Each structure stands twice: as C-alpha cells, then as structure tokens.
Structure 1
Amino acid sequence: MRALAPLVLLLGISFVAGSGCRGGAPRMATAPTKPHAGESVVVRFDAPVVSRGMDQVWVTLVPPSSPEGFVVDRVIVDDGATEVVVPAAAEGTFELRLHDAYPRRSHHLVGRTRVEVERPGVAQAEPPPWYW
C-alpha cells in the first residue's frame, strides 16, 4: 500500500500541472451558422473559458486540411469569456480551432468545429421598393 502513495501523488501533480482549459475544453457554436466572406463569426462557448495560470486560450480559422500548428490569425479569448469574434476573410470550408496553454506551448489544440463561409452577398442594381 505504501508503494501506491507516491504514484497517487505523482498522478495528482501531473493532472493539476497539465495543460488545457480548466475543466476541459468548452464546446463551440458559431453565429451566424453560415457567415459570408468579409463578415465576422461569433464563436459561442457552452461554458466560460477558463485558462490555467498565466496561459492564454486562443482561436484561429484555418482550412481543415492545414497542419495543427498552422495559424492565420490568432484571436485571444479572454478568461471567463463565453464568446469571441473571429474575422472570416475568404469563402470556403474552414475549421475553427481552439488552442490553450500559450505561451508555454505554442500550439495545443483542444477543440475544433467546421465553418462554411459563403460568398459575399451581391449588391442590388436597383434600390428596394420601399426606397421610393
């Protein structure tokens, strides 16, 4: 039984010192669900984002086939935030990736969700009927 005490202590320390959003990574949802290129995507978390210590949590919107360490724009998520705004510059299929443990670890992916960014709306040639 004595031999287990150091093992339990070691496992407890590694759990507390490990990286990650405290309490696990929150799930993400986007609004609008299909944004247009040039608009921003509001990312809503199902729980407040809580980082550990001095670590930062951040998101990036990247092509789904890109490597885990690929970053276009890094948007920092404030501690305790339930949403963050991410620009969607181009149309296509993207992946919103949630990272934590920065700067201790430059890329520690803890969550992802797919985002379809549609082509920008086309301006009408004539004003709407209510204009006249």
Structure 2
Amino acid sequence: MTDLRTELGEAVAAAFAAEGVDPALARVTASDRPDLADFQSNGALAAAKALKANPRDLAGKVAARLEGDPRFASVEIAGPGFINLKIADATLAKRAAEVAADADHAGAAVVGDPRKVIIDFAGPNVAKPMHVGHL
C-alpha cells in the first residue's frame, strides 16, 4: 500500500504533466498551515520560473485538472501560486479501513529483508562522572 502523500503526489504530477510541465516539480508536502489545507504543492512557482509564465495562472490550470478528483475535498490557489489540497473525508475513511484491514502491518511498509535490531539504552549513574565504561 502506498502512503497517501505519494498517491496524491502522483495525481499532482499527472496534472503538471498534462500542462506540459516537468512532473518532478510537482512535490507534495504536508501543509505548514493545517487550518488551510492538509497538503500543499509549490511546484507551480518553480515551473513558472522555468517557463517564464505567471505562477498563479499555472497553479490555476493544475488546480482545475485536480478539482474533478474525488480524493480531494477542495483544491485552492493561495498566494503567488501555492496549491492547497484538502483531502475528502471519504478518502480518509477508505485509507483508515485499508490500514485496519492490514492486521499484519497496520499500513506500514513491508521490509524486503527484515533484520533483528538490538537497541541498548545506557543507564549511567548521574551522580558519578561519565567515563568510557558507560559506552
């Protein structure tokens, strides 16, 4: 199962590609302002600079392509060309059901070659000086 950010990133990359923009610029990250959006993309800023175009216009074209996608509750343009993405409740419910159904891994990525890892926590006496024996 791919994580939600990767899945949304692929959708945004496809929208960028449909506008003739390098899909590698369509990076999706968690929003710095969760009150405004769940995820955001600032790829229109870099793409517009490379194309010598208006970033807000380019972001509007990309957003128009994403608005029909049922995974998004809303797609909005903010500032000079940021694309704010709010996830639809149905998308989150579907993802939660997938995680709940995956009893073995609970949605975590499956490791190809699992290895045993031993973690040792030191418990030095803080009332005594530290020395190499504490390592």
Please confirm whether the aligned pair reaches a TM-score higher than 0.5, indicating the same fold: no
- Structure with bigger gyration radius: 2
| TM-score under structure 1 length normalisation | 0.28
Higher relative contact order (CA 8 A, sep 6+): 1
| TM-score under structure 2 length normalisation | 0.28
Report the structure, 1 or 2, having the larger strand content.
1
Report the structure, 1 or 2, having the larger helix content.
2
